Structures are given as C-alpha cells and as structure tokens.
Structure 1
C-alpha cells in the first residue's frame, strides 16, 4: 500500500513523520510531504512547493491520501479528482494535535475506515467513522467484498442492501461456496427474497429482487491455440464462451498454457489487453495435473501432453474444472476454479 501524507505546520510535520514510521512498520510505503520551511523538523519529511500538485499526481496512484490539518484543506485538494467509490483512494484527515482521525472518503472499498482505526490506535486518537452501517454496527457488504478482492457487480444494489440493513430488515445470502462460521447480524441463508447477496462467478445469478452479486477472482483460463493465431480470434472465442456460460472476465485470476506458447503473440496480447497474468507449464508439469481430462492424440504429438487447456487451467487453479475443453477454429478453452471458503 502507498500512502501520501501532507502536513502544514511544525507540529503537523512531527506527526506526519510518526505516522510514516508506523505505516512503514506494518509494511506500507509512505511519502511524507510538508512545506519547505518545515521539512527540517525531523527526518523522513519531503519538502514540496505545492501540495495540490502532489495531490493531483498521486490521487490515482496512491492507495491513501492523509491530510494533517483542517478538513477544508483536504476537501479542496481532492475535489477536482473525486469520481467513484470504486476507484477513489482512501482519504483521511487528522488534526495536528492527534485528537481525531477522520475517514473522509472511500471508507469501505478504499479502506479509509479501517485505516483510520489503525492509525488512531497507533497515535492514541479517536477514529471518526460516519458510514451508516458502521455507526449502526451492521455488516458492510462493499467493505467485506473489497477486503476479499471480490467484484461488486452493481454498486446501486450494494447501496440498497446496506439501506435494507439500516432499516432493520433481514437480507439473504446465497453462495456457491462453503460457508464457515456465523453469518453477520441481519443476514440469513436464503434462495430468494426481497434483498440479498449472491457469492458466485456467474454474473447472471440474481436470486433476490435486489441482488448484490459478489464475484470472487478465482477463475483460471486454460487456453491453447494454433501457432500465430491472432489476438482477435482468441478474444472473440474466449469472450463468447465466457458470456455463454455466464462467467465474468473480472473473475479471471490467470491464464495458463503450455510453455510452447510462451512467445505466442496473440495469446500474450489477449492477456495484456485484459490485464491478466499468464502462466506457462512444461509438458511434464501438465502431465502431473490431477483429474479426468479430454485426450487428444494430435495435441500430444505437438505439445507432448494429451491436453493443454484443461490441464493448465487445473494446475493454475489448484481446484477443479468449471468448463471442460471447448474449441473453435484453432483455439481451445477450459475454465477451472480455485477452492474458496466464505468466512465472515
């Protein structure tokens, strides 16, 4: 995590450096910025001529922006760049006497609420969190999903889910995966109802009238193709198959294939376009995959193993097949899913 901290006074500079040391101690990178005349207050401070320029530079780069000073300073600095709770960084405001740590922006998905509590505990301040689910001590579906790297299919549905809990209503939970432990207060297992959440990789699964579809990033695509298959052909086939079976590309954690394809331009371009890492396995490694796979004598004569797409998907996932080998015009695809246990 990268945090950029701004301070505007001598006392603020001392607090700035202290918070920077705390964040470094828990494995975070901290850039501690202050006005040039206060940069010499202590070690670890960086002089900046215009904090607004630095704020503009890091708003879309940093995970958190922390302002030590008046809330108005922070509000005016970030105002031109605020876009969405799904993409904005966490923004915190702390008074220079370290009395309060205010979660100002992106409390749930951006993690500002949790970070405010962490820093407040470290500097012996009071965390100020104003989100409705938190002040009512209720389950925050967007925060829970964000911590687990899940995709929230509709932020409006998440908002409606939270509103139902705040109103004292019960929300349902439908999960494709094993649930461990107790459910959050106000949430019960259900297959239908007015409001609820569905944990699934199928974006079309909406058992409730208002369904928050939470999609875990646990799918792994095994892809094979003829030599020099262009990006467009691979993409058209893979996306069509994913749509056909209700899978969302945002759930894809990796693409896998045989090492003979490590220089396959179309495959590499497809992975890069969709920002998904690629893994390559040797024929010997693929042969060690556990499961029942679709054999092909032709594939074995080329790759040295009887199946590429299914075996590579299973190896990458450490789980089991969700979609067996499907093929079209020289491209093969299989989808595997890594194991997942839901724990609140």
Structure 2
C-alpha cells in the first residue's frame, strides 16, 4: 500500500518521520507544509491543492492534523467507496488514529489499527461490523482480491450479519477459516456466491468475482498504446472475461520501459511485473514457440510464459497476436481466507 502522510506542524512533521522510519507495512511518502519541512519530505503550501494533486495517486492518505482540516480538504474529491483512497486522521500528539473514508474496501480501518499499534495510540474505528467483531463483506472482498458486483447487496449482507442472521456461502474456490456467521447450508435467505458463473443460489445473493487474471503481453519496440489496448480488450471479450478481473501485467524485462505498455498499465491502474529471459524459459508449461522471438528476446514466447510465471496458474487465453502485440492470460489459483487482512 502506497501512503501519503501529510503534516502541517512541527509535531506533525516529527510524527510523520516516525511513521516513515517504522511503518514497514506501507510505502510512505511524506508531505510537510513548507514552514515545517525537512530534507526527506516534499513541501507544500496549500493543503487543498496538494490533495487535488495526489488524490488518485496513493492508496491511502494520512493527515496529521485536526479532523476538520482533513474533511474540508478531501470533500471535493470523494466519489465512491470502491475507488476513493483510504483516508486517516491522526492528531499531532499521536494519541488517536481515526479512519474517516474507505474503511473496508480501501483498507482505512486495517491501516488505522496497524498505525495505532506502531504509535501506541488508540484506533477509533466506528464501523458497526468492526466494533462487534463481525464478518464484513467489504473487508473480506478487499483482503481476498474479490470484486463486489453489487454495493446494495453488500449492505444487505452486512445488515443481516448485524441482525444475527446466518449468511449462506457457495464458492467455486476453496475457502478457509469460515466464521460462525457464514454457513454452507443452502437454505438461507441471503448469501454469498463467489465465482464467475451466472448463479443466484439464494433469494438475495451477493456475487463476488475474483480479480485473479494475469495478462502476459509482448510487443515490438515503439508499439503504440492503442494497439495494445485493442488486442487486450478483444482477447478478453472473446473469452468472456471482464477487464476488472485483471490483477497484473507481466512481460520480459527488456520491455520494462516500453512507453505504450506503461501507458496501458497506468490507464487501468495495474502493476507491471517483468522477468528475465532465462526465468521465462525455465517456466514449466505447454507454450507455443517462435524461433524468431527467441532470437530477438532470448525466449521463445513472451506473453504465455510471463502470464504463467507471474500467476502460477493455467493459461486460459493462449497467444493472440496483432499489429506487433502478443497477448495471453493465466488464471491465478486462489484460496479465500476469511481471516485475511488487507495489510
């Protein structure tokens, strides 16, 4: 998780430095108001302008200041619980850590708990399911890389849990550490279906779809972003796989600075994983082979091998090629853990 830590006072600066040095569970970048900055921080003068610049660039924003200042700074940018970053406020004395936005899906609640443990502070988590130690569909989905297809359905499940109602579960994937609130018995009024098929096993069904598709992409030097985008979208469409299920992009290391590929990753918010030719050649599996590609890159197939190398699963889209681009996809095997946390 990439976090921006913002401070506006000397005590806040000292606290942000403490977080930077000790919070090894997040990647911290410090932003200090110019009057109270140091060599290792980025300076700013207007907190509203700063938040406008960084809102979509970080997984979490941690304010070390009064809560009102933070609320006013983020108010113009709040859009949806599925896309907004986690937002946390810490008082400059380091006594309270308060998640104020994207507590479950964004991970603010879990981050607040970790930061409070680090600082010896009190985490002021206010979400009902967390307070009671109950199952939260939002937290479960976020921690296990699942896509919530219906926010109203997620609210219905959370409400049923708080009312003491048993929640049904039908999953196409292995599940472990299933809590007491969840049952695999079929006679439930409300429940979860985890999978990719068109199933509604309960009168009220919340469908959770795994985000576990790894795209392997190869391309000629200088290939335009549009050519990559078109082939990827066409390949996924033909395989009936929504783009939202893609978790990562993989390729050979000589393509790590390929502009079109980097633009593609940036557009969809995906991380690019790269591997050396020898690593790809040592990847086991049934892959198509090209002597020309091997002569140029040192590996006989970039897209299929990189997808499997990154995901460790099986190919579900074999090599597709057009306009100097090759695409393949692998489905990463998953085990769903109801006790898994985001951080």
Q: TM-score, normalised by structure 2?
A: 0.73
SS of structure 2 residue aligned to 1:108: coil
Match of 2:6 in 1: 5
Shift of the 328–169 alpha-carbon distance from structure 1 to 2, 3 Å rule, reads: farther
Match of 2:341 in 1: none
Paired residues of 2:20 and 2:30 also in contact (CA < 8 A): no
In the TM superposition, 1:8-23 aligns within 5 A as 13-14=10-11, 16-23=13-20
SS of structure 1 residue aligned to 2:68: helix
Match of 1:158 in 2: 154
**Structure 2 residue 309 is the aligned partner of structure 1 residue 315:** yes
2-structure distance, mates of 1:264, 1:29: 27
- Number of residue pairs matched by the alignment: 329
SS of structure 2 residue aligned to 1:138: coil
Paired residues of 2:211 and 2:246 also in contact (CA < 8 A): yes
SS of structure 1 residue aligned to 2:50: helix
- Tell me how large the CA RMSD over aligned residues is: 4.3
Match of 2:32 in 1: 33
Paired residues of 1:193 and 1:207 also in contact (CA < 8 A): no
Shift of the 203–58 alpha-carbon distance from structure 1 to 2, 3 Å rule, reads: farther
Larger RCO: 1 or 2 (CA < 8 Å, sep 6+): 2
Paired residues of 2:22 and 2:118 also in contact (CA < 8 A): no
1-structure distance, mates of 2:80, 2:89: 19
Shift of the 203–130 alpha-carbon distance from structure 1 to 2, 3 Å rule, reads: farther
Q: Deviations over 1:243-300 (max 9, x none)?
A: 3543222222345578999999988876665455375775x7666543445x6xxx64
Match of 1:239 in 2: 233
Give the C-alpha shift of residue 188 in structure 1: 2.0
Q: Decide which of 190, 197, 208 is 1:195's aligned counterpart.
A: 190
2-structure distance, mates of 1:35, 1:237: 47
Q: Deviations over 1:168-208 (max 9, x none)?
A: 2222223332223x2023112356854333333x2745544
SS of structure 2 residue aligned to 1:61: coil
Paired residues of 1:271 and 1:278 also in contact (CA < 8 A): no
**Structure 2 residue 81 is the aligned partner of structure 1 residue 81:** no
Is the radius of gyration larger for structure 1 or structure 2?
Answer: 1
Could you tell me which runs of 5 or more consecutive residues in structure 1 were left unpaired when the two chains were aligned. Answer: none
Match of 1:184 in 2: 179
Match of 1:290 in 2: 284
Paired residues of 2:144 and 2:336 also in contact (CA < 8 A): no
In the TM superposition, 1:62-211 aligns within 5 A as 62=58, 63-69=60-66, 71-180=67-176, 182-189=177-184, 193-200=188-195, 202=196, 204=198, 206-211=200-205
Match of 2:242 in 1: 248
1-structure distance, mates of 2:302, 2:230: 20
Shift of the 172–16 alpha-carbon distance from structure 1 to 2, 3 Å rule, reads: farther
Paired residues of 2:209 and 2:245 also in contact (CA < 8 A): yes
Give the C-alpha shift of residue 133 in structure 1: 1.0
Match of 1:340 in 2: 334
Q: Deviations over 1:128-155 (max 9, x none)?
A: 1111211221112222322344333333
Give the C-alpha shift of residue 311 in structure 1: 4.7
2-structure distance, mates of 1:220, 1:47: 38
Point out the more displaced range, 220-229 or 128-137. Answer: 220-229
